[in-house]
Amino acid sequence: QNQQLRSAVQQIRNNCENSQYELFKIAQSKGYYKPAEQADSQQIQQVKSQLQG
């Protein structure tokens, strides 16, 4: 195993995730982000049955 390569890839991934979170915070502060409404139990069951199909 190449620990140095693993660490480099992990650092790249962490930087990418941090950048994505910063973009999310900017979008949220400008009102661009609108979360979906919470699903009710019937909608949840419908999706579950579709996925288990």
Q: Per residue in 1-53, pLDDT tens?
A: 799 999 999 999 999 999 999 999 999 999 998 889 999 999 999 999 999 97
Q: Give the pair of three-digit tokens for residue 15.
A: 């930087």
Would you say residue 39 lies in a domain? no
Domain that holds residue 24: 1-33
Q: What letter does residue 22 receive in the DSSP assignment?
A: H
Question: Would you state the pLDDT for residue 2?
Answer: 95
pTM: 0.59
Domain count, the chain: 1
Q: Give the pair of three-digit tokens for residue 34.
A: 């609108």
Task: Yes or no: say if 33 and 24 are a contact pair by the CB < 8 Å rule.
Answer: yes
Question: Would you state the pLDDT for residue 50?
Answer: 95
Per-residue exposure over 30-43, b if at least 16 CB sit within 10 Å of its own CB, e if not:
eeeeeeeeeeeeee
Question: Would you state the pLDDT for residue 34?
Answer: 86
Would you say residue 13 lies in a domain? yes
- Short-list 41, 23, 48, CA closest to 33: 23
Question: Would you state the pLDDT for residue 35?
Answer: 86
Question: Would you state the pLDDT for residue 37?
Answer: 94
Would you say residue 47 lies in a domain? no
